[in-house]
Each structure stands twice: as C-alpha cells, then as structure tokens.
C-alpha cells in the first residue's frame, strides 16, 4: 500500500479480495507506519472527511500529525497524546472522539489500532478501524437523561421511598428520606447484621420502635404487606408522624425478591386529629361548665339532649329524659306554665325561634326568673334538623331591673333637688326632658321644641354666635362640648352659666340622647374678672421692676420670661427648642458665657435636685452678642404638701459693679504684692544677717584648714580642730534655716477633718473673676466618694491658689485656648491632686522647689518652697512633671491615714 495513491501495490487476487473486504466494512479502515504516518486510508473515510491521504500526513508546527483540522478541537489534545503514547509504548490504541464531516458536522467515532511487529518484535505497521458511534452516543445520552429524570422523580416525590432485600435489609432510600433523617448515604453500603433493626432504634421514636420491629418481622415472615403509623426522628431531633406501607416484589415463581416501601409525612394530619379530639373534649367541657342550662329537641319536639349542669340542677341522671320532661314542666311557676307551653307549641308549628321569660322552682324552694331561648337548625333546603335551646338564670337581672326602675325614680327626685339645670335632646335636636329646677328658673315657652329655637330665645345676643357655633360643631361631630354664655331667666335678667353637653351612646356607639347640665357661674365670672385685673396689675409691676424675671417648671424647663428679659435675650421661650435636647439645656447653652456654662449647669442642677435656692454670678449674653455680668437668684415655690410646683427667678445686671470690684481687687492685689515684696525684702535682709555670721566663720575656718593641710609637714591636729569648727558653724546655719522654715509651719492643732471637694469649690469661686480676666478655661474633675481628710484648710487653700496662679501665669503668653485642668482621685490610700496647664512646660523640675529659686522676672522663689513645706507637714509629697507635647502638671498627694492620725 502506498500513501500517495492510497492503493494496494500488489494486484494478486488475494490482495484485491482483502482490499474489497476492507473497503466494504461498515466503518473506516486505516494503516500507518511506526512513526504514525498514514500508509492507507479507506476511500469512504476520505470522502467523509473531504481530505486526501496527503492532507492527513501534512504536519507543521501546530499540527504534529496532520489531522488537527478533522478532529474536534475539544478532543484533539487528548487523542494526540494517546496516539503519541501508543507509538512510544506499542500499547493498543483505543479512543473515542469526534470527526468533522465534509459538511462541517462533527460525529462521534471509536478509533482502534493494533501494531504489527517483525520477527525481532519491532513495530512495522499499525492497522486500525474507525467506527461511527454517533447513534450509540445519542442513545446513551438519552438513557442518562431518562435515568436522571427518574432519579429526580424518586428524589423529588413528596414522600420517603425505600427498598429492602427479601430478608429485610435496606438497600435504597431516596434523597428526601436521607435528608429528612440526616443519614450518610455511605452507611447503606455497610453490611452489618440487623441493619434495619439498628435504623429503627436510631430513627424511630422509642415508644414506636418495638411495635414496628414486630410488624416488620411479621410481614417478612408471612409475605403480607406492611402498614403502620409511627414517629420518625428528623435530622433536627424533632419526631414527625409517618404513615408507612410496604409491598413485596415477587419473581415468576412467587418468591419475594425485594420489598418496596413508602413513608408519607402525616404529622400535620395526626396533630389535626388530636386537635379535633381535644377541641371536642374542650367543647364538651365548655358546655358542661358554662353557667347555663343547654338542651335540644328533635324536629318534632322530643327531648334529645340535656347538659350535665341542667340534669345536676334538677337531680336527674343523663338517661332519664322522661323524668326530665315531666319534672321540668312541674317546676315552672303555675302562672307561667300555660304561656311556656303555648310558646313552645307555636314555635314547633311555625319553625320560628322563640324567647320567653318564666319562673322556675329552684332547689331551695324559691322561684327564680329564667330566660329560655330556642332556635332551629336548618339544612340547605330549609328543613329543620334540630332545635337547640338554652335556659339562663336571670333572676338577679330581673331584680336589678326592678331596682333600676326604683333607682330611676330616686334619680329623678335627686336631679330635681340638685342646684343644676338639666336638659336632654334627641339626636335630631328635639327636646326630650327639662329638669324641674330649669322650668322654675328659666321656663320653656310653648312654641319651643328643639335646641336651636331654645338657644336663640335664652342666650345673650352678644354670646349667641360663639355658643351656637360650638354647640352645632359638637352635635355634628358627636363630641362633648362646653359653652359659657349669659342666659336670660324668667325675670329677664341675664346670668352667666356654664353648659356642658355629653352624648349617651348605645352598644353600637350610636348616639341615642344628648344631656346638657347648666351651672350658674355668675359669681365665678365676677371673681375671674377681678383676678384678671389683679393679674394685669401684677404683670405691670413685674415688667416695670429693674430686674429680669423668669419662671421655670420643677425640672427647670423655662415657662415664663418677663418682657424685659425677652428683649434682653432677643428670642422667645420656644425659639431655642431642639430635637433631642431639653429646652433648659438649649437655652443655657445659648445665653451663658462658655467659661461660666459648666458651673451654671452644676449649680442649677444641684438646686433642681435638692430644692435649695440658687444664687450665682455669671455672664449673660445680650441680644447684640455682648456678655454682661448678672447675679441670678432662684427659689422654689411649693404647694401645701411641700412639693415644688414652680421655680421663680430674677437676674440683676451687676456688670458695672463687677467691673468696679475687679478694678478694686487689682489695686488691692498690687498693694498686697508691694507689701509682700517689702516684707520679703525685710525677711531676706534678716535671713542674710542671721546666716552671714556662720557662713563667714565657715569660710574663714575653711581657709585655715586649707593652710594647716598645705604646711610641710601638714599640721593634722590643727586641721582637725578647724574642721570641727566648720561643722559647728554649719550646724548653726542649719538651725537658723530651720527656725525660718518653722515660721511657715503651723501647729497640727489647726487641722480638722474636711472634704477636699469643699475646699476646691471655695477656691474655684474665689478665683472665678481672675480666671475670667486671664481668659482661662478651668476644668474641674473630682471623683465621687472621696474620703474626708484632716487638713489645715487655710494652708491647703494657700497651696491650691499658688499652684493655680502659677499655672495661669505660665499660660500668659500662650496663643489660642488656655486650659487649666484640676483632677482629684483616690489612689492607694491617698488623695491625689493633679493641676495641668497648657503652657511651655518647666525645666529643672526639682530645683524649682528650692528656696529663692525662681524663673519669674520679679519672683522671690519662695512660693513653691512654702507649698512643698505645707504638703510635707501634712505627711504628703509635692512634685512636678512635664506633659506631652507641652505644658506641665503639679501633683501633690495627701495620705488619708496620716492626715487622719494628725
């Protein structure tokens, strides 16, 4: 065979016959050399592919073998890899892939090739066939789709399907059942003994498991179908009622091959059945418990049912209906019996319901009123199926109605005696009743029959429009209304009255009557007029006082401002209302100077909480944005029970006074500083004089000691004597300094147990003006529950004032916001006070506490030394720290136990 001609070179008859056989095969034949090049391709294949043998052997960089164009792109790499592997190993070549027909359509083929070897085992040729399997592939796909469809049908059917072997071992559960019980599908492959029994024990309710095992064993033994209700545990642990049925599948000789079963979820049905049974029991219980007597008749009027309560009331048994009929008739009051019998007979004849009242004898021998009601039950064509009746004890109701009628008579007498005029009108406005007192005082002319004509007749002409409009609106809306107007009485004199109208409604909320009660308020109106005059006079007085007056609710919410205060602030009461913020907070935030706001909130909040009067000086913002100093005072107004009903306050403008006091204080401060400087200079001179002598002696003795030690040889004896003199003079100087420090210390007898918070509060009020003048924002944070300590109040105030003033002076050159924070905490049995500023910080944090060391141009360097002496005399410690990024913090701690012991 040659590739170029695609023909067999030999022409012997055997070869020709073999070629004819090959080319008549229902498929394609081919051969290839050991390198994979085709040496023969059947003509049918070339026609199918639309190629030549040469085309199939033409390889390039992208097509290793030359047949990439005829193999489906998705199959080519797989087929080429398999062909390479077979060429390399000599394995049989078998693969399935798609070939492109000459019209471009791809069809599936099975390609098989076997190698031919020489005597030495070398591959000399490959021979193969390519068979069209397109129809087979489509059939397989159809079968797979059908199988998938059946599988989905089995899994999606809204029931649990299962199969057992002939001896009862499970071999299949559909997906819905597996998901329901939460079982691993792989468990079905385990061949364990009593597998079905294990599944029953695992998933069937313990109360049902034994019965199910017995029923299943009975069916497996007898071959009879299996039917049972039981509870099956769902994957979440909840048991559901199931209705299960299984049928055997038999072979041609009647032997059971398999069991096919179905489980249907009937949990809702079972629960509904239980609910119906419970409902029936509950209904019967209600019938037996309801405090009425229930009975029923047949269509002809024969007794069919009597409730237990009715029988028990008469002392009869449930079966004795004849005695019941006889006794029931005998118990009816003789005066009522004929009417009862006639009414019942008429209803049975006409088919109409009936209701009647009668008296029946009770156990105590007394007759009690009963109300009997009976209605027929019809079918669709109107035929009476049954009569149902009820007898209700209404003796108390009848007696109450009688009492009500008596009460009505008494009420009418009381209305006539009350000093109130009462009228009633129908919903249409027609007059239905007028009390005796009204008729006596006002009277009703004969021509008046309704509200409109009555109102026009008796109301003062000036009051009629308002009164009539209010009444008309009330009648139309069906809502109560109140009118005050002047009414003309019989003598022609008009008097003020207050008329209150209220509708009476029935159970359907329909107005059945209007009642109007009129009260004489002539004296009240005169009193109100006098009160208004008094109020006008008082308001004029308030508005002319040289003060700003306001009122507030018990919680501090502003409720009133004088005209002067409103004009001063430039806004009304509700102009500053904000969502989520109280009127008090929004008002204070708008009118109080930011530096005074925290203190105002604190003091005002304390007064509101304790009920104590409020007094404070602060700055108030005027309508033009200018802040002026005012003194605000507020006091609570209480009722007779001592409860606060209102706060009354006044703001007095003291701006000129405050500024004058500030100027005076500055002058006094300058004078005090001058006196302090003079005294300090005198003290310094005295200290210098006292210390100068021992210091001079120390210097002289030091020179002498140096002289004796420098001699050759050194005079150690004389040097020793000189050193002793130096020590003596140094101790003398130390005693002088100790006596001077003692001047700054006071006896512990002046210390008393005091809350440190009260000392700080006094200092804060004392320095308020200075803090404001220096434009410093001072924030105070004092922890709750601080224990009181024993201290010298004046000395500790001196320490705090000195540290606060040092902090404010340190921030004198700082631009922007100047903040001074005072923080007090209880830490490790000591009260710790921290004062932080936002100044430039400090250097030589320990040296600043030495006497006469100062960083101020005009400072004497004694303030911090005295502060440390005071703190140490209280058993405490004072130190300084730098803040990050700037500022300094002075801290002193006073031990509670030490101060208490002192």
Q: What is the mean pLDDT of residues 160-170?
A: 85
Q: Which of the residue ranges 302-316, 669-683, 828-842 would you say has the lowest mean pLDDT?
A: 669-683
407 membership: H or E segment, kind and range = helix 395-417
End-to-end CA distance of the chain: 130
**Locus of tokens 């099975």:** 110
Q: Output the pTM of the full model.
A: 0.30
Report which of 107, 104, 116, 112 is spatially closest to residue 130, judged by C-alpha positions.
112
The CA-CA-CA angle for residues 465, 466, 469, to 5°, reads 80
Instruction: Supply the pLDDT for residue 206.
Output: 93
Please tell me which of 144-153, 404-413, 574-583, 604-613 the model is most confident about, judged by mean pLDDT. 604-613
Instruction: Supply the pLDDT for residue 8.
Output: 43
Instruction: Supply the pLDDT for residue 5.
Output: 41
Q: Which of the residue ranges 551-555, 558-562, 686-690, 775-779 would you say has the lowest mean pLDDT?
A: 686-690
653 membership: H or E segment, kind and range = strand 644-653
Q: How far apart are CA 714 and CA 184, in angstroms?
A: 109
Write out the DSSP string of 527-562: HHHHHHHHHHHHHHHHHHSSSEEEEE-TT--EEEE-
Six-digit token pair at 224? 């009879």
Calculate the average pLDDT of the chain. Answer: 82
**Is the per-residue pLDDT at 848 higher than 50?**
yes
**Is the per-residue pLDDT at 116 higher than 80?**
yes
pLDDT, tens digit (0-9, with 9 covering 90-100), for 423-481: 889 999 899 888 888 888 888 887 888 899 998 999 999 999 999 999 999 999 999 99
Residues 6+ apart with CB under 8 A from 297: 303, 304, 348, 374, 386, 387, 389
Report which of 373, 344, 337 is spatially closest to residue 358, judged by C-alpha positions.
337
Q: How far apart are CA 752 and CA 794, in angstroms?
A: 11
Q: What is the mean pLDDT of residues 755-759?
A: 87
Could you give the percent of the chain with pLDDT greater than 90?
A: 19
Instruction: Supply the pLDDT for residue 323.
Output: 57
Helix (H, G, I), strand (E, B) or coil at 188: helix
To the nearest 10°, report the CA torsion of 412, 417, 422, 424.
10
Please tell me which of 85-94, 675-684, 697-706 the model is most confident about, judged by mean pLDDT. 85-94
Report residue 12's pLDDT band, with 50, 70 and 90 as the boundaries.
low
Residues 6+ apart with CB under 8 A from 409: none
For helices 464-477 and 451-458, angle between their N-to-C axes, nearest 10 degrees: 160
Instruction: Supply the pLDDT for residue 735.
Output: 63
Query: Contact, 481 vs 514, CB < 8 A?
Result: no
DSSP state of 887: -
Q: What is the mean pLDDT of residues 366-375?
A: 88
CA 388 vs. chain centroid, Å, equals 54
Q: How far apart are CA 626 and CA 623, in angstroms?
A: 7
Report which of 540, 531, 584, 592 is spatially closest to residue 562, judged by C-alpha positions.
540
Instruction: Supply the pLDDT for residue 901.
Output: 42
Write out the DSSP string of 423-437: EEE-TTSBEEEE-HH
Cβ atoms within 10 Å of 49's Cβ, excluding its own: 19
pLDDT, tens digit (0-9, with 9 covering 90-100), for 210-223: 998 898 889 888 98
**Is the per-residue pLDDT at 746 higher than 60?**
no
Q: How far apart are CA 630 and CA 617, in angstroms?
A: 6
Q: What is the mean pLDDT of residues 821-844?
A: 88
Report residue 193's pLDDT band, with 50, 70 and 90 as the boundaries.
very low
Residue ranges of domains in the chain, CATH in brackets: 15-132 (3.30.450.20), 157-271 (3.30.450.20), 290-396 (3.30.450.20), 418-527 (3.30.450.20), 535-652 (3.30.450.20), 749-895 (3.30.565.10)
pLDDT, tens digit (0-9, with 9 covering 90-100), for 628-640: 999 999 999 999 8
Write out the DSSP string of 552-603: E-TT--EEEE-HHHHHHHTS-TTTT-BTTB-HHHHHHHHHB-HHHHHHHHHH
Residues β-bridged to residue 162: 173, 261
Could you give the percent of the chain with pLDDT greater than 70?
A: 87
Report residue 60's pLDDT band, with 50, 70 and 90 as the boundaries.
confident
Q: How far apart are CA 568 and CA 591, in angstroms?
A: 10
Helix (H, G, I), strand (E, B) or coil at 183: coil
Query: Contact, 188 vs 162, CB < 8 A?
Result: no
Residues β-bridged to residue 246: 226, 261
492-501 own/partner pairs: CB under 8 Å, 24+ apart: 494/460, 495/520, 495/522, 496/520, 496/521, 496/522, 496/524, 496/525, 497/421, 497/521, 497/522, 499/467, 501/471, 501/474
**Is the per-residue pLDDT at 693 higher than 70?**
no
User: Who has greater pLDDT, 328 or 850?
Assistant: 850
**Is the per-residue pLDDT at 494 higher than 90?**
yes
Q: How far apart are CA 628 and CA 633, in angstroms?
A: 16
Helix (H, G, I), strand (E, B) or coil at 278: helix
Instruction: Map 282-342 to HEC letters.
Output: HHHHHHHHCCCEEEEECCCCCEEEECHHHHHHHCCCCCCHHHHHHHHHHHECCCCHHHHHH
Instruction: Map 478-492 to HEC letters.
Output: CCCEEEEEEEECCCC
Six-digit token pair at 166? 């002939």
Query: Strand 819-827 vs strand 777-782: parallel, antiparallel, or unpaired?
Result: parallel
Report residue 99's pLDDT band, with 50, 70 and 90 as the boundaries.
very high
Q: What is the mean pLDDT of residues 325-349?
A: 82
pLDDT, tens digit (0-9, with 9 covering 90-100), for 536-560: 877 777 777 778 888 999 998 898 8
Six-digit token pair at 301? 């009027």
Q: How far apart are CA 82 and CA 71, in angstroms?
A: 14
**Is the per-residue pLDDT at 63 higher than 80?**
no
Query: Contact, 549 vs 563, CB < 8 A?
Result: no
Q: How far apart are CA 883 and CA 840, in angstroms?
A: 9
Helix (H, G, I), strand (E, B) or coil at 826: strand
The CA-CA-CA angle for residues 849, 855, 861, to 5°, reads 45
**Is the per-residue pLDDT at 73 higher than 60?**
yes
Cβ atoms within 10 Å of 549's Cβ, excluding its own: 17
Report which of 448, 442, 422 is spatially closest to residue 434, judged by C-alpha positions.
422
Q: Which of the residue ranges 235-239, 369-373, 531-535, 596-600 would you say has the lowest mean pLDDT?
A: 531-535
Report residue 204's pLDDT band, with 50, 70 and 90 as the boundaries.
very high
**Is the per-residue pLDDT at 615 higher than 70?**
yes
Report residue 11's pLDDT band, with 50, 70 and 90 as the boundaries.
low
Query: Contact, 623 vs 591, CB < 8 A?
Result: no
Q: What is the mean pLDDT of residues 852-866?
A: 70
Instruction: Supply the pLDDT for residue 480.
Output: 94
Q: How far apart are CA 695 and CA 197, in angstroms?
A: 113
706 membership: H or E segment, kind and range = helix 655-710
């Amino acid at each position: 065979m040659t590739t170029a001609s695609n023909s067999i070179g030999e022409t012997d008859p055997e070869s020709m016959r073999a070629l004819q056989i090959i080319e008549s095969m229902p498929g394609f034949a081919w051969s290839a050399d050991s390198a994979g090049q085709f040496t023969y391709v059947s003509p049918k294949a070339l026609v199918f592919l639309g190629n030549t043998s040469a085309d199939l052997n033409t390889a390039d960089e992208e097509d290793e073998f030359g047949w990439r164009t005829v193999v489906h792109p998705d199959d080519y790499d797989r087929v080429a890899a398999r062909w390479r592997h077979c060429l390399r190993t000599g394995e049989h070549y078998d693969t399935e892939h798609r070939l492109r027909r000459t019209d471009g359509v791809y069809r599936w083929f099975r390609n098989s090739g076997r190698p031919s070897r020489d005597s030495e085992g070398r591959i000399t040729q490959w021979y193969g066939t390519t068979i069209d399997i397109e129809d087979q592939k489509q059939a397989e796909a159809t079968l797979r789709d059908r199988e998938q469809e059946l599988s989905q049908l089995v899994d999606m059917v809204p029931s649990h399907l299962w199969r057992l072997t002939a001896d009862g071992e499970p071999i299949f559960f559909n997906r819905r059942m597996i998901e329901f019980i939460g079982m691993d599908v792989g468990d079905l492959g385990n061949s364990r003994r009593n597998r079905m029994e294990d599944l029953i024990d695992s998933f069937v309710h313990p109360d049902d498991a034994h019965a199910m095992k017995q029923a299943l064993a009975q069916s497996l033994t007898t071959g009879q179908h299996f039917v049972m209700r039981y509870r099956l545990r769902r994957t979440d642990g909840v048991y559901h009622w199931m209705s299960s049925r299984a049928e055997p599948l038999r072979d041609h000789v009647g032997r059971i091959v398999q069991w096919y079963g179905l489980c249907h979820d009937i949990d809702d049905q079972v629960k509904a059945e239980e609910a119906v049974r419970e409902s029936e029991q509950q209904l019967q219980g209600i019938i037996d418990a309801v405090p009425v007597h229930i009975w029923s008749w047949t269509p002809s009027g024969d007794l069919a049912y009597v409730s237990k309560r009715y029988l028990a009331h008469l002392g009869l048994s449930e079966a004795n209906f004849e005695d019941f009929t006889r006794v029931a008739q005998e118990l009816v009051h003789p005066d009522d019996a004929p009417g009862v019998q006639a009414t019942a007979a008429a209803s049975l004849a006409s088919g109409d319901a009936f209701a009647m009242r009668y008296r029946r004898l009770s156990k105590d021998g007394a007759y009690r009123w009963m109300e009997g009601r009976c209605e027929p039950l019809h079918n669709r064509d109107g035929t009476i199926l049954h009569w149902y009746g009820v007898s209700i004890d209404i003796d108390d109701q009848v007696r109450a109605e009688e009492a009500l009628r008596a009460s009505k008579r008494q009420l009418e007498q009381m209305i006539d005696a009350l000093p109130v005029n009462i009228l009633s009108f129908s919903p249409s406005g027609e007059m239905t009743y007028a009390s005796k007192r009204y008729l006596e005082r006002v009277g009703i002319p004969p021509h008046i029959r309704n509200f409109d004509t009555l109102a026009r007749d008796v109301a003062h002409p000036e009051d009629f429009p308002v009164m009539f409009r209010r009444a008309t609106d009330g009648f139309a809306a069906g809502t109560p209304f109140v009118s005050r107007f002047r009414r003309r009485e019989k003598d022609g004199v008009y008097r003020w009255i207050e008329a209150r109208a209220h509708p009476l409604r029935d159970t359907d909320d329909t107005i059945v009557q209007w009642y109007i009660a009129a009260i004489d308020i002539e004296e009240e109106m005169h009193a109100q007029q006098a009160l208004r005059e008094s109020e006008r006079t008082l308001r004029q007085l308030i508005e002319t006082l040289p003060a700003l007056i306001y009122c507030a609710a018990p919680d501090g919410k502003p409720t009133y401002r004088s005209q002067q205060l409103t004009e001063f602030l430039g806004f009304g009461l509700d102009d500053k209302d904000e969502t989520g913020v109280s009127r008090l907070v929004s008002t204070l935030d708008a009118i109080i100077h930011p530096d005074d706001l925290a203190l105002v909130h604190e003091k005002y909040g304390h007064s509101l909480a304790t009920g104590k009067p409020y007094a404070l000086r602060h700055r108030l913002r005027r309508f033009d944005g200018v802040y002026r100093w005012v003194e605000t005072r507020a006091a609570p107004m209480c009722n007779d029970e001592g409860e606060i009903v209102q706060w009354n306050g006044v703001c007095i403008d003291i701006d000129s006074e405050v500024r004058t006091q500030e100027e005076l204080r500055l002058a006094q401060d300058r004078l005090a500083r001058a006196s302090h400087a003079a005294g300090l200079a005198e003290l310094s001179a005295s200290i210098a004089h006292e210390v100068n002598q021992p210091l001079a002696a120390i210097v002289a003795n030091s020179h002498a000691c140096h002289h004796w030690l420098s001699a050759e040889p050194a005079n150690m004896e004389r040097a020793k004597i000189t050193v002793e003199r130096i020590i003596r003079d140094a101790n003398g100087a130390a005693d002088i300094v100790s006596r001077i420090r003692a001047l700054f210390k006071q006896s512990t007898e002046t210390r008393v147990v005091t809350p440190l918070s009260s000392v700080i509060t006094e200092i804060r009020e004392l320095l308020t003006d200075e803090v404001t003048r220096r434009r410093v924002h001072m924030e105070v944070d004092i922890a709750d529950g601080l224990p009181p300590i024993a201290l010298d109040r004046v000395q500790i105030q001196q320490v705090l004032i000195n540290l606060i003033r040092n902090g404010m002076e340190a921030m004198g050159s700082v631009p922007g916001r100047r903040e001074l924070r005072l923080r007090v905490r209880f830490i490790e049995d000591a009260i710790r006070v921290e004062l932080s500023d936002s100044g430039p910080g400090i250097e030589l944090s320990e040296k600043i506490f030495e006497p006469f060391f100062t960083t101020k141009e005009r400072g004497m360097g004694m303030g911090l030394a005295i502060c440390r002496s005071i703190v140490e005399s209280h058993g405490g410690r004072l130190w300084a720290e730098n803040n990050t990024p700037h500022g300094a913090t002075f801290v002193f701690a006073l031990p509670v136990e030490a101060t208490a012991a002192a």
